[in-house]
Structure 1
Amino acid sequence: MSIRWRLTAWYSSILAIVLVIFGLVTYGLVYYYTYNEVKSQLMTQAPQINKQLRLIIKGGLFEVPNLDLGLEQGRGIDDSQLYVQIYNYTSGVTKTTQNMKDLNITFPVPSTAAGAVQNEGIRRVNVNGDSFMIIQQPIKSEELGLVVGLLQVGQFTGSQDRLMNRLQNVLVYGSLFALLAAATSGLFLARKSMKPLVKVIEGANQIQSSNDLSVRIEYDGPPDEIGQLIGTVNNMLGRTEVFYKELEDAYGAQRRFVADASHELRTPLTTIRGNVDFLLKMWTTEPGERPNMDEEMIRELSMEALNDMADEGKRMSRLVSDMLSLARADTGKTFDKTPVALEPLVSEVARRAQFLERTAEWNVGDFSLLNGIYMDGSKDYLQQMLFIFIDNAFKYTPEGTVRFDAIVYQGQVGLRISDTGIGMDKSEVPFIFDRFYRADESRGVTEGIGLGLSIAKWIIDEHHGSVEVVTRQGEGTTFVIWLPVSFSAPLE
């Protein structure tokens, strides 16, 4: 059973219970007040009538000379107010008022005087299809000390009965109609209320069938619980879409990483294998089969092959080391940080950088402004990051100047490496920190595999820093690495 049918059933059941309780209470109250009025009138009239009776005892027999009690008479049974009947247990004679004689009716009486005593009080009787409420009072003779008769005073309750029957019909059929109308309107409202949830199901099915996470559920209703639910579902779909796109981008980057790594590893391996094959062929050939090669030439060619193999081995080592660093970054691993004095660190880097392979002039600024400035970080990784930027500047500055200096601004230190090299187009700046990315003009011209800046960016991020790039093609590039610092000396 669907939710809307269950909601309709629950609503209708609760309404049915409420209507039944309401009907019973209403019927009971009307019944009580309607018949209680008749009962009160009978209980008031019966003692007065009893006082008007003149008891006559002759020979042990009880006689009632007349019943002319001055009662209000009417033409029909509905018009007459009271009906009085006296039964004489000593003679078996029944006397009634004129209105009962006109209607030719008598009230049923107990067969014995003891029965009259037992049935004393108010009771309902039906006479010839007409209903009456009567009060019965035994007539006692103080002279004989016995119950000699029975006084019955009644009132016709047909109009009250008809009123109660009409009320019963109204309550029953009205409740059924109200229940049917409520069930119909409840089902309509339940369907209307559940319509947004149907849209949620349709949207989910559409996503499942088409894998389209851009689908959103349209809702123009009030911000009630269903509106909040749809808003939550749409927000969840939005976050899922973003996560899915990020996951796709990550998978794409991983595939590119594997493809580029395979390409970079294949080149040195091909070189090494070719040189090994060349050496094997050269040294396994009989001397008579290589008439144009003397021992000096063989030695020279062998050294060239070995040097090529050594260079490619170093290149592979750098590549593997860089890939391990990036793998560590991908797994979320970090490194221990301790207070690092910046002036000795950058001075050592500047001193060692002059021995790197270069053709450009090396220019170092004044680092004395860094005296007494510390930061939380890793000395080894900070040096590696600086060497990456400096080595990069040397590679792309075949002639000109590479300068290394520092600035302090608003609680941060900026380590600046600038060159007058080939520069790059501004459109390439957003991609230079991507793995294996190299500018088109430098690819195949300048040595490198395109992982250095990715590693440097990871080290900067781990130190909660940032990097600023200013470049112009043909004029050079400037990198400013901003790092947060602490001016207080570390505790020993």
Structure 2
Amino acid sequence: MTIRLRLTLWFSGILAAALIVLCVAIYFFVNMNTYNDIKVQLRDQANDYNIYKYEYGLNQMDLNLQKKSPFIDKNFFVQLVNYTEGVIKQSDELGKNGLKFPIPEAKSNPKNGYVKTTLKTDSGEVLPFLVYQRVIPNNTEEGEIIGLLQVGTVITSETNYLTGLRVILILSSVICLIIAFSVGLFLARKALQPIERVIRSTEQIQSGSDLSVRIPIEGPKDEIGRLVYTLNIMLSRIEIAYNGLDESYKAQRRFVSDASHELRTPLTTIRGNIELLQRMWSKTLEPGEAGDIVLALDTNRWELSNEAMQDISAEARRMSTLVNDLLALARADAGYEMEKTTLPMLPIAEEVGRRAGFLPRTAVWRVGDLSALNGFQVKGNADYLQQLLFIFIENAFKYTPSGWIELSATRREDQLGIIIKDTGIGMNPKEVPHIFDRFYRADESRGKTVGTGLGLSIAKWIIDEHRGSIEVTTMEEEGSTFVIWLPIDFSPQPASIIMEGTDQRIED
């Protein structure tokens, strides 16, 4: 429910309560004034009869009405009840119409007062009456009630008048409420119109991510005007802060990307030179071949130097891997969009399975059933898809000291699933949500393997770029299963495309 509607309903509710109180008060006072004069006339007419004069002969009482009221045209009807003899005597007008006022029993000790009732005539007409009844006691000390004098008059005009008054009050109240609701809704809309502008402007900022948009200030500088002014100042500060952070973030991404590019060249040179020295130093020299220089070499120093160069080479390869990983993540952060084509998935998986057999490992490597990929293709980049599979395979080699690692495939609906399953050390299922975080390593506390913790982050980026998903099932000391799901591309594709540039990507 909107604020505008709530305000209108509150206003209408207060008005309705006020109208109800006013209408009830008007009706109460009009009703009292309408019947007050009639009640006085009825009481005076009843008092005109000297009831004590006829206390022992009520049947002799003359019921002819004395017209002493100023309203001489009013029709009064008299009924005399004799409880002692059980006789009821009526005025001529009441008897002619076959009417009889309601009679209370003597034992109920009726009191002087007024009674409203309706009587039905012989013709079927129902008439409303107002009756004043006066009890007739005897002259004894007990004051036993021996009779009842009732004087009544027809109040049809008064009843109709009050009924009409009720209808008028109800209809006028309803009409006033409708008018008040409509006017209140209009006024609330006009009063809250600046808030609508604020909402539209903020929605425009939210949908367009344009912090330069400002809310127009219109109308007086009331509470809403101050709110708009404050929001505009806040948006200005947010825009300045956001632009500063954005520039900083762009600079950071450029630094990581540039640093990675710059570090690759010297690292490649170092690796090449060290490998050349290793080949030269590892050549078997026979005594006498190199003359006096060879004989002067210290054997222990040669072995230490060779070992040091091996360490340098390993660290250089490790740094090169780290730089390549940082470069890949920098491209991901920079919104790099890889080039994609329609590729058959089976040759990619078979090629990865074949080359993985040459990687160093301590567990058994086997390629399982890949027939689920046969005849299906995906929209992707062959180099990155191979890198993706190698990340999971090398990860499995690293964490599987014994047992086996298997590559297989499955299919469901419009997705292909590539499965890398191992019988390695596994991990706690609680760690699964964090394994794709950068530099996170599930086995860090156990210290069983070495690594940078960036591989799975890169794998997650590649999967996201291919609109795929990953399922992980693992248990400590029981191994892990990774299922990579990629959407099937059903567009037609010539059979001649087979992963150009694959060898170069794997070599990197």
Name the TM-score class by shorter chain.
0.3 to 0.5
Q: TM-score, normalised on structure 1? A: 0.45
- The alignment's TM-score, normalised by the length of structure 2, stands at 0.44
Whose Rg is larger?
A: 1
